[in-house]
Structure 1
Amino acid sequence: MIRASRRGDVVRVARLDGGVLSEFWIWDLAAPDGVGDVYTGRVEAVLPAMAGRFVEIGGVAGFLPDSAGGKGLSIGTYVAVRVSRSAQGGKGPRLAVENEEPGEKPGLLRRGDGPLLELVARAAGEILVDDYALIAQLRPRLGERLRYDAMAFDAVLEDEVAGLAEPCAPLPLGAAMHITTAPAAVLIDIDAGAGSEVSQLALNTAIIPEICRQIVLRNLSGGILVDFAGMKPAARLRLAAPLSAALGRDFLKPAFLGFSHLGFAEIVRRRVRPGLHEVLR
């Protein structure tokens, strides 16, 4: 089930699976993050060392990798491009060539779908919305899947969503995760808590699904380092299989790279939309 609650220009979008919150997005109608937008772009610079080009898309420069269709495009070339990753962390948007005719000057051709419609495309079930104007806007695309519900976000959901603004989250067996975000990476530190009667291996294995759920809910991306609670190097290896399995349920399919010499589990998750911590600033 998908629930959407609108306040002004901001739409909060939640996906629940079996009553459990599995995805959360903020869709700002007045200032969308740009993912999926299609522009006419003009190649401004060719950067062989970076295997790509800078492309002006109307007052903003985006990066077009050679692997996303940029190879062979020379300075001054006009090309239609789609935003594949939003501007974030002080960097401009990432672009990919779109197979259509560009316009006569750099600028927006059309907006992307936004996180709600993207979520609907991969999740079945009805969509509860608490705003009639938003229902009218979405009706041509979503038809009878839409239903008005003044309590699309009930008190329980509101409480859980509010908790996502905090840099920590409770985990099973009395453990907790503490999240520190930085431009280069995200660090997740696990606190085992006091009085746990299970082994460190059992505790760390039990908390992995919730850690991965929190990564998705908060849209943490890029390099992610997880410092599991007190395990010797040989024992950490036994967490590799359950961690890989839990990450495999993420729609972005992040990769587990192994354990560093310092003992951190290294994860890489694609950057597409800004993390929740950036949206809530």
Structure 2
Amino acid sequence: MVIIGARRGGCVRVALAAQGELAEYYLWRPAAPDGVNDLYTGRVDAVLPALAGCFVALGPDLSGFLPDSAGGRGQSVGTYLTVRVTRSPQGGKGPRLAVQPGVAPGESPGLIKRGPGPLIELAQAHGRAEILVDDYELMASLRPALEGRLRHQADAFAPFEDEAAALAEPTAALPHGARLHITPAPAATLLDIDAAAASAMAPLALNQSLIPALCRQIVLRNLSGALLIDFAGLKSAQRAKLAEPLKAALALDPLKPRLLGFSHHGFAELTRPRIRPALHELT
């Protein structure tokens, strides 16, 4: 397993590769981070029982939502507390927060410490992975956290250039000549499988064979929130036979999405935690 950091201007492409194949992919802008795992001194500005949480001021122009389940229960307006960003601002909404125990808040709302970013987080999650970086300045900035694990390799990202570029497109090639069409909307993302050249295959066998590649695209593109999958040409009686293979593939996802079932329109309904913005929001 290898972690790669490839700098291009102000953006770092971060990849986790396993057996020569992309397993996870992120775009990281160190000068404009997404905020995940940032620590803030916050001030409770509004308690909203109807929303099961409260709004917390993080600075002059930034506020976030602290759910009751993440430490918001029992808070009162004017209370100062230390919070951690658990979901970056996205979709026009501010960050999602959680109370951070053991860290004293400051005297006014503001940033205490930036989160480590996706490269260091991957390194922490995969302690034995080799870390290849193509830029000496980037290596220097990472060295305090990853001393002894970094190695410079100018062409480290080269084997993944084409696939990373393809992730910016709203379609993806699937096995057997099938295609995946991805349509994001504010409330949900639709993933439509087009059998295309694979239409001669039996629909159930085709869709079962496509599930691993489909779930891999979800991870690489960091699609999250509500996901609706329209499988290709299945009769209603066959849909339930996809549930177990789909659950097995989703279990390999680091964010552990859940299959909620199949809708009356035949969509497989998933929910995947929103943490970092989806790739299409960044590109």
Q: In the alignment, what sits opposite 1:90?
A: 92
1 CA distance for matches of 2:198 and 2:67?
A: 51
Percent identical across equivalent pairs?
62
Q: Distance in 2 between matches of 1:268 and 1:195?
A: 28
**Is residue 183 of structure 2 the alignment partner of residue 180 of structure 1?**
yes
Aligned counterparts of 2:245 and 2:198: Cα–Cα separation in 1: 24
Instruction: Provide the alpha-carbon RMSD of the alignment.
Output: 0.9
Q: Quote the residue 2:45 is aligned against.
A: 44
Q: Which residue of the partner structure matches residue 239 of structure 1?
A: 242
- Cα distance in 2 for partners of 1:112, 1:70 equals 21
Alignment-derived partner of residue 269 in structure 1: 272
1:5 is aligned to: 6
**Equivalent residue number for residue 204 of structure 1:** 207
* Residue identity opposite 2:40 in structure 1: Y
Distance 2:72 2:83 in 1: 10
Instruction: Tell me the residue number matched to 1:69.
Output: 71
Q: SS where residue 148 of structure 2 aligns?
A: helix
What is the alpha-carbon distance in structure 2 between the residues aligned to residue 38 and residue 18 of structure 1? 35
User: How far 1:229 moved relative to its partner?
Assistant: 0.2
The size of the alignment, in residue pairs, is 279
Structure 2 CA distance for partners of 1:195 and 1:66, relative to 1, 3 Å: closer
Contact 2:236 2:266 in 1 (8 A): yes
Structure 2 unaligned segments of length 5 or more: list them. Answer: none
Aligned to 1:144, what secondary structure does the other structure show? coil
Question: Does structure 2 conserve the Cα–Cα contact (< 8 Å) formed by 1:173 and 1:196?
Answer: no
CA contact (8 A) 2:45 2:57 kept: yes
CA deviation string 1:108-130 (max 9, x = no partner):
00000111111112223211101
- Distance of 1:28 and 1:78 partners within structure 2: 30
Name the CA distance, whole Å, in 2 between partners of 1:160 and 1:261.
Answer: 35
Provide Cα deviations, 1:130-155, integer angstroms capped at 9, x if missing partner: 1111112212222222110011211x
1:129 to 121, 126, 133: 133
When residues 203 and 72 of structure 1 are mapped into structure 2, their CA distance, relative to the original with a 3 A threshold, is same
Q: Deviations over 1:31-71 (max 9, x none)?
A: 00000000000111010000100000002110000110011
Q: State whether residues 176 and 198 of structure 2, in contact with CA within 8 Å, keep that contact through their aligned partners in structure 1.
A: no
Residue 189 of structure 1 aligns to a residue in which SS? strand
Shift in alpha-carbon separation, 1:269–1:195, aligned structure 2, 3 A = closer
Please tell me the residue identity of whatever aligns with 1:29: P
Corresponding residue SS for 1:109? strand
Matching residue of 2:105: 102
- Give the unaligned 5+ runs of structure 1: none
SS at match of 2:245: helix
Structure 1-normalised TM-score? Answer: 0.97
Q: Could you list the per-position Cα deviations for residues 50-107 of structure 1 after superposition, in whole angstroms to 9, with x for gaps in the alignment?
A: 0100000002110000110011110011111000000000000000001121000000
